Structure 1
Amino acid sequence: MTRLSVNINKIATLRNARGGKNPNVVNVAKDCERFGAEGITIHPRPDERHITTQDVYDLAPIVTTEFNIEGYPDQRFLDLVKKNKPAQATLVPDPPGVLTSNAGWDTVQNHDFLKEIISELKGMGVRTSVFIGTEPKLIEYAAKVGTDRIELYTEPYAANYAKDRDDAVAPFVLAAKRAKELGLGVNAGHDLSLENLKFLKEKIPFLDEVSIGHALVCDALYFGLENSIQLYLRELREA
């Protein structure tokens, strides 16, 4: 079964636009779980433009499904993980100030760095996932650095889906199969939506988890949060 982890960054963005606590990210996280989400994902960037450091501490004790903290593994990030013990830490190569995650790790060039970080995270008892593209060599080096899972960066799939979905998904299928051969779990995220999610799951039935935020929150403006989560779960279950 592929788990749906709801990324609530955009909820925090909306709150921060006005200040105060409306919408309340803790209550939204609780509601997401109550509505069927099987995980909560956050990305506490250094500039706190959406999820803040305090949000991490507020969310950690109340998330009853899988808590996934993603981010660039600097000392601040490692301290947050160590003190809040999420189920999973997803490592992304975001430099400070980037608008959104827009590339995966070069696991060859960053082999030593990632291996050290992942060893430290495993020592905390936290599962690790590395945000990555589809190049086979990068997948192989992800296994070498010791990560438990990879998260396939699916923006290229989403961007090309309408033009030729079979061509768009092909490199992701190959990458996922290679990861599975190497004993890695496979997550996926970025620009997944009600339009393209089911086809991805059909082609990669052994996906462990998808992390979806922007599209799901946009859909919630029209369908409501509960209905939107149920629609995404249906896409995963019917694939």
Structure 2
Amino acid sequence: MTKALVHIDSGAATMEGMLELPDTPSGVVLFAHGSGSSRLSPRNNHVAHVLRDAGIGTLLLDLLTPHEDRQYHNRFDISLLTGRLRAAATWLDAQDATAPLPLGLFGASTGAAAALQLAADPAVPVAAVVARGGRPDLAGSDALRAVEAPTLLIVGGADEPVISLNRQAYAELGCVKRLAIVPGATHLFEEPGTLEEVARLAAEWFTTYFTHEP
């Protein structure tokens, strides 16, 4: 296992992140955190741990600086978040250890919209996308229709407003797709066993599409 603290220049800011790679990774997943969250999010770190156990590398990073995150509107600036995510994907593509690997995106909350906007860019080869409790609707109809990477949307069964928003976004996706509703889970998947189910579903999705053409 290789573990390294990395710094990625996005032009306007330098993002700090943690890159962890198993010895023979099948791919690497770039995490896009949601509003008010960070690369230290215990939920995303739990998912990342399960992915690494499944042989998948992970890069968790802060898309916003602490100063930027204190300005609430930045958390919902999907174009800004997408640009930061693009800079991280470009960085991964320039590293010897990660350039040959299929790229996956894992988005939570508003990070899901940024992940889908990036996946809609034909210049960025994304192999698979997973969203947890996300707001894929904020990516916009044009981006959703342009996504070609297989996309899994995971929503809590007790997160009713977000279920409806995910159903709307799901209907616009024209790629290989799945909407998974975790029974009894609220928005943060804090109920026993629910986050474990998110991690299982994500690992299965990425493993499938890192090794097979959609």
Q: Same fold (TM over 0.5)?
A: no
Task: Give the TM-score normalised by the residue count of structure 1.
Answer: 0.37
Task: Give the TM-score normalised by the residue count of structure 2.
Answer: 0.40
Greater strand percent: which structure? 2
Greater helix percent: which structure? 1
